[in-house]
């Protein structure tokens, strides 16, 4: 989207005057009344009122030149229509709960369908819509069942569409959706799907079939009357969702637990989670609903399990123990069956790119993200080789930005990214007098008073992070808040210090959050 045209504004002046094709298309997203000025009428008016018309068009072109490189900030209501795909089932509940979520953030008005199924003439006109845009921050239209005149009109006044279906309903295109597809502006509206679950549901149903349809920007599994789920939906609709990215860093990754605790205590919502390596392991447990205390003890126990050496034809260790314990930790949970979106980053050696794994078995995605090349065997996926993502991107902010920012208008914002980097780069150095490394130098470095000589683990770790270090500045620039807990004093293998590392992350995050609030740079809705 390039720009937005508000009531009373004009568009296309330069093309009219210069008799050139327009540089962009203009689409009416809502019912609109247009006044069209042809070239012939423009020339006739110019002859009759040369000074007045020249001033008008000069002013219009001045505004165009001033705003040519930016989208003008427009203050008007977020407008959403809620439509039940199957005879309106669930639409009233979703509209009501969404309206309450919006009301906690600003001025909201909820339009319910007229009891007598009013005709088009009985519905407010375009001027009334403009008044509502100025009066409220959020407008929720409840379409009601069927393709009534009210439902069609409500659809045309909304910028976004939230379709509602019950879990287990047919995914095929139905007559109701086909009917709305005939309405003007349908292709341009952002379309979402809420899959409504029972209030007691512990795990979402399989939403993969709905996502495969590609009819919706995003599919949201939501529990009936669940305030947290509807608040998350409202943030996605308004471009204010919060994505948290957890980087890799061995035992230093326990700082993530402390940061998450500080975010929770400050009421900062976490709507999406992405991670790499240790960050993926902690993030996966977090989106599964494991408490932070249990994440700490469970991860510490997992890390203490060790691994067996193997014939070093593919890797130094076999990775079988890690795979077994991850299977035990996550079972048959798939990423699609989580209440909150999640991805685990991995480096795709076959394609030479970072792969954000957001489908399939959760344990397999975490395993791939925790398989350093050379140390662990690659995880195979459709004939491709996946390893720890730190080779290219240890803090996968770009993947998070894609999930927050795609299809969102610039004016609405594209969410907030909080990135947590615990991958403190350790300088890899040796005694300057050495001409070459040897196993004896490495063994001798374990003796007291001897200079450190890197072993194969140190070399593989540094080699596996070269790409991440080189693009660190870019990663920081893509984040809204980039946190670097001071954990350099802890060893990468210092898993016995889990509690202390977590405490460092907690205190550090508390200070940063206090600064955000002081600077008023926290655009999210505080979770009550």
Query: Which residues, at least 6 apart from 243, have a Cβ–Cβ distance to it below 8 Å?
Result: 271, 272, 273, 274, 400, 403, 404, 415, 416, 417, 418
Per-residue b or e along 470-502, where b marks 16 or more CB atoms closer than 10 Å to that residue's CB: ebbeebeebbbbbbbbebeebebebbebbeebb
Active site residue 277: yes
Q: Where are the beta strands (DSSP E) in 85-173?
A: 108-111, 138-142, 160-166
Q: How far is CA 359 from CA 298, 363, 406, 444, in A?
A: 24, 11, 18, 47
Using DSSP, state whether 510 is helix, strand or coil.
helix
> Which two tokens mark 482?
């980039």
Virtual torsion, Cα 323, 329, 335, 337, nearest 10 deg: 140
How many distinct helices (H) and strands (E) make up the chain? 20, 14
Query: Which residues, at least 6 apart from 340, have a Cβ–Cβ distance to it below 8 Å?
Result: 232, 270, 271, 272, 273, 287
Using DSSP, state whether 522 is helix, strand or coil.
coil
Active site residue 426: no
Q: How far is CA 255 from CA 230, 336, 388, 475, in A?
A: 29, 27, 19, 19
Instruction: Determine which one of 358, 388, 393, 421 is catalytic.
Output: 388
Separation of alpha carbons 363 and 324, rounded Å: 9
Instruction: Determine which one of 79, 240, 277, 371 is catalytic.
Output: 277
- Catalytic annotation, residues: 277, 388
């Amino acid at each position: 989207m390039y720009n937005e045209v508000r009531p009373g504004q004009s568009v296309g002046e330069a093309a009219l005057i210069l008799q050139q094709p327009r540089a962009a298309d203009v689409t009416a997203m809502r019912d609109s009344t247009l006044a069209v000025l042809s070239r012939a009428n423009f020339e006739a008016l110019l002859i009759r009122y040369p000074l007045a018309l020249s001033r008008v068009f000069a002013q219009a072109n001045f505004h165009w030149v001033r705003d040519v490189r930016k989208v003008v900030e427009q203050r008007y209501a977020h407008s959403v229509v809620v439509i039940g795909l199957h005879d309106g089932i669930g639409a009233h509940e979703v509209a009501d709960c969404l309206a309450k979520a919006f009301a906690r953030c600003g001025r909201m008005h909820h339009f319910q369908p007229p009891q007598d199924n009013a005709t088009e003439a009985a519905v407010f006109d375009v001027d009334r819509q403009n008044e509502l845009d100025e009066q409220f921050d959020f407008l929720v239209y409840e379409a009601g069942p069927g393709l009534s005149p009210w439902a069609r009109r409500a659809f045309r006044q909304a910028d976004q569409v939230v379709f509602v279906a019950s879990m287990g309903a047919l995914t095929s295109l139905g007559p109701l959706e086909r009917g709305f597809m005939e309405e003007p502006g349908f292709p341009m509206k952002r379309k979402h799907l809420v899959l409504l679950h029972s209030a007691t549901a512990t795990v979402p149903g399989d939403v993969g079939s709905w996502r495969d349809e590609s009819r919706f920007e995003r599919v949201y599994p939501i529990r009936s009357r669940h305030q947290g789920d509807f608040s998350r939906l409202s943030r996605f609709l308004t471009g204010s969702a919060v994505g948290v990215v957890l980087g890799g860093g061995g035992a230093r990754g326990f700082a993530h637990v402390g940061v998450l605790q500080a975010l929770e205590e400050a009421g900062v919502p976490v709507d999406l989670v992405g991670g790499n390596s240790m960050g993926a392991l902690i993030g996966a447990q977090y989106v599964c609903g494991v408490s932070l205390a249990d994440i700490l003890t469970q991860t510490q126990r997992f890390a203490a399990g060790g691994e067996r050496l193997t014939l070093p034809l593919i890797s130094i260790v076999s990775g079988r123990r890690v795979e077994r314990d991850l299977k035990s930790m996550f079972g048959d949970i798939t990423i699609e069956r989580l209440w909150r979106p999640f991805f685990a980053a991995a480096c795709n050696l076959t394609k030479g790119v970072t792969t954000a794994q957001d489908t399939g078995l959760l344990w397999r995605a975490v395993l791939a993200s925790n398989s350093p090349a050379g140390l662990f065997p690659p995880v195979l996926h459709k004939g491709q080789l996946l390893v720890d993502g730190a080779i290219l991107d240890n803090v996968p902010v770009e993947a998070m930005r894609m999930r927050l920012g795609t299809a969102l208008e610039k004016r609405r914002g594209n969410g907030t990214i909080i990135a947590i980097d615990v991958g403190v780069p350790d300088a890899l150095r040796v005694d300057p007098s050495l001409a070459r490394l040897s196993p004896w130098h490495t063994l001798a470095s374990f003796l007291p008073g001897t200079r450190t000589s890197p072993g194969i683990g140190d070399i593989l770790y540094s080699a596996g992070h070269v790409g991440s270090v080189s693009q660190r500045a870019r990663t920081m620039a893509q984040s809204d808040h980039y946190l670097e807990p001071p954990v350099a004093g802890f060893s990468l293998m210092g898993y016995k210090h889990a509690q202390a590392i977590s405490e460092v992350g907690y205190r550090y995050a508390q200070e940063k959050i206090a600064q955000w609030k002081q600077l008023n740079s926290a655009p999210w809705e505080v979770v009550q």
